[in-house]
Amino acid sequence: MKAIGYYESLPSSEPNALVDLDLPKPVATGHDLLVEVKAVSVNPVDTKVRVNRTPREGVAEVLGWDAAGVVAAVGPDVTTYAVGDHVWYAGDISRPGTNSAFHLVDERIVGRKPESLSFPEAAALPLTSLTAYEMLFDRLKVDQPVAGGAAAVLIIGGAGGVGSIAIQLLRALTDLTVIATASREETRDWVTDLGAHHVIDHRQPLAAQIDAQKIGAPSFVFSTTHSDTYIDDVAALIAPQGRYGLIDDPAQFNIMPFKSKSISIHWELMYTRSLFETADMSRQRSILNEVAQLVDRGAVRSTSARDMGEVNAENLRKAHALLESGKAKGKLTLSGFAT
């Protein structure tokens, strides 16, 4: 089968950073589905793994943790899906990725694809939807008020893939005021169109801009990028006893500025449930199915912002480079494999 991977960690500008492969088609066992992948999207985790994970000698590492496709076969223990079902999912970071024509994934972390979306439109959403939903409702518990805090959420990095879906989930499922950061005109327009009530510039001090909104101190802050650079600002602007969450990987993160306000700090890694096969692993299936329903009734839309073409090494290298530039908005998708 066609696949794309790498044998050595290289900059995305290098021709061998990602290469076209021909691999054996895997076989479904246990709770696995064998999915014929129709479309994928690219996430920052793809670029981070490519740079930081060295493959075993002579064995290609296949990336990709977003996919939409059709179930081609099922393992003997599968109970929720059948051959021919249209599905979407974000996969398991400890297993080979979705940049392959056929892919194995545990049924417990797979949802039914929204009927109203094409495969590329659907592929843009699973990883970011799971990350945003888990952070907002499982970690920050935004549906539980903070005493004295403003019923508001600040999203740092609102125009990125996770920020883009977080804005929509908040608008669809809560009555909270949504404040998003964006610095360029096109990204400010993007987050406003997605439903942000207020937009502030992350290149300028945040606390003063929040104060200027006259809505009070936000109860919740969701930081998706450069979290270490905003620590003092967030500590100043967040409500006492507020809840703060982050998803990026700062080299260092000093939590001491949050102590005086008793701010709780929450990490979110979308892969935790699959990595540890937690008792609630199937919650990801439930979340994806709920998001699919929101999509099909028009409450949430795909954050697919750019079609990068066919799933091949050249196009994936371009997608990785664009993500690494920090100038991407929404999600980058690819669809179809060369025959």
Separation between Cα atoms, residue 336 and residue 101, nearest integer Å: 8
Average pLDDT of the residues in 119-135: 97
The pLDDT value recorded for residue 338 is: 81
Looking at residue 100, the DSSP 8-state letter turns out to be: B
Average pLDDT of the residues in 274-303: 97
Q: Is 95 exposed, middle or buried (0-12, 13-18, 19+ CB in 10 A)?
A: middle
The pLDDT value recorded for residue 305 is: 80
The pLDDT value recorded for residue 329 is: 72
The pLDDT value recorded for residue 330 is: 73
Q: Is 252 exposed, middle or buried (0-12, 13-18, 19+ CB in 10 A)?
A: exposed
- DSSP-based three-state secondary structure for 335: strand
- Kind of pairing between the strands at 218-223 and 243-246: parallel
Q: What is the pLDDT of residues 35-93, one digit of tens each?
A: 999 999 999 899 999 999 999 888 999 999 999 999 999 999 999 999 999 999 999 99
Helix axes 161-173, 185-194, angle to 10 degrees: 30
Give the angle 80-81-83 at the CA atoms, nearest 5°.
160
CA-closest candidate to residue 290, choices 169, 188, 166: 169
Asked if pLDDT for residue 166 goes beyond 90, the answer is yes
Asked if pLDDT for residue 145 goes beyond 80, the answer is yes
Least confidently predicted of 101-110, 196-205, 254-263, 327-336: 327-336
* Backbone dihedral angles phi then psi of residue 207, each to the nearest 5 degrees: -60, -45
Q: What is the pLDDT of residues 9-20, one digit of tens each?
A: 999 999 999 999
- 8 A C-beta contact, residue 20 and residue 115: no
pLDDT band of residue 260 (cuts 50, 70, 90) is very high
**E-assigned strand segments in 52-101:** 61-62, 67-74, 86-89
Separation between Cα atoms, residue 142 and residue 245, nearest integer Å: 11
- DSSP-based three-state secondary structure for 190: helix
Average pLDDT of the residues in 264-271: 97
The pLDDT value recorded for residue 327 is: 73
Q: Is 233 exposed, middle or buried (0-12, 13-18, 19+ CB in 10 A)?
A: buried
| % of residues, the chain, pLDDT over 90 | 93
The pLDDT value recorded for residue 303 is: 87
